[in-house]
Structure 1
Amino acid sequence: MTRIIAGVARGRRLVAPKGEATRPTTDRAREAIFSSWSSRFGIEGTTVLDLFAGSGALGLEAASRGADEVVLVESSAAAARAIRTNIGTVGHPRVLLAEMKASTYLAGAPEDHFDRVIADPPYELAGEAVTEMLEALRPALKDGAVVTVERHSADDETVWPEGYGILEQKLKRRIQGLARFDTAIYRRGEDE
Structure 2
Amino acid sequence: MRIIGGSLKGLRLNPPKNLPVRPTTDLAKEALFNILQNKIEFEGIRVLDLFSGTGNISMEFASRGAEQVISVDRSIHCINYLKDAARQHGLSSIKAFKDDVFKYLQLETEQFDLVFADPPYDMNKIPEIPKIVFEKNLLSPGGLLIVEHQSLQNLSNHTAFTEQRKYGHSSFSFFDN
Mean CA deviation greater in 8-17 or 30-39: 8-17
State how 1:55-74 maps to structure 2 within 5 Å. 55-74=54-73
State how 1:3-18 maps to structure 2 within 5 Å. 3-18=2-17
Q: Which residue of 2 aligns with 1:175?
A: 166
Tell me whether 1:135 sits opposite 2:131 in the alignment.
yes
The one-letter amino acid of 1:35's match is: N
Q: Could you give the per-residue CA deviations for residues 1-32 of structure 1, whole angstroms, max 9, x where no partner exists? A: x1111101112222324323410101111111
How many angstroms does 1:177 deviate by?
2.4
Question: Number of residues paired by the alignment?
Answer: 175
In structure 2, distance between residues paired with 1:13 and 1:110: 34
In structure 1, distance between residues paired with 2:167 and 2:84: 27
Return 5+ residue gaps in structure 1 as ranges: 187-192
Instruction: Confirm or deny: 8 A CA contact 1:17 1:78 kept in the other structure.
Output: no
Return 5+ residue gaps in structure 2 as ranges: none
Tell me whether 1:158 sits opposite 2:176 in the alignment.
no
Instruction: Confirm or deny: 8 A CA contact 1:131 1:160 kept in the other structure.
Output: no
How many angstroms does 1:90 deviate by?
3.2
Q: Could you give the per-residue CA deviations for residues 7-64 of structure 1, whole angstroms, max 9, x where no partner exists? A: 0111222232432341010111111111111112222211011100010111110111
State how 1:1-192 maps to structure 2 within 5 Å. 2-111=1-110, 113-126=111-124, 129-138=125-134, 139-155=137-153, 157-159=154-156, 161-162=158-159, 164=160, 166-167=161-162, 172-186=163-177
Instruction: Confirm or deny: 8 A CA contact 1:15 1:86 kept in the other structure.
Output: no
In structure 1, distance between residues paired with 2:53 and 2:138: 21
Instruction: Confirm or deny: 8 A CA contact 1:12 1:90 kept in the other structure.
Output: no
SS in structure 1 opposite 2:74?
coil
Instruction: Confirm or deny: 8 A CA contact 1:17 1:54 kept in the other structure.
Output: no
In structure 2, distance between residues paired with 1:124 and 1:159: 18
The one-letter amino acid of 1:173's match is: Q
In structure 1, distance between residues paired with 2:127 and 2:157: 6
**RMSD of aligned residue pairs (Cα, Å):** 1.6
Mean CA deviation greater in 48-57 or 76-85: 76-85
The one-letter amino acid of 1:182's match is: S
SS in structure 1 opposite 2:171?
strand
Instruction: Confirm or deny: 8 A CA contact 1:6 1:61 kept in the other structure.
Output: yes
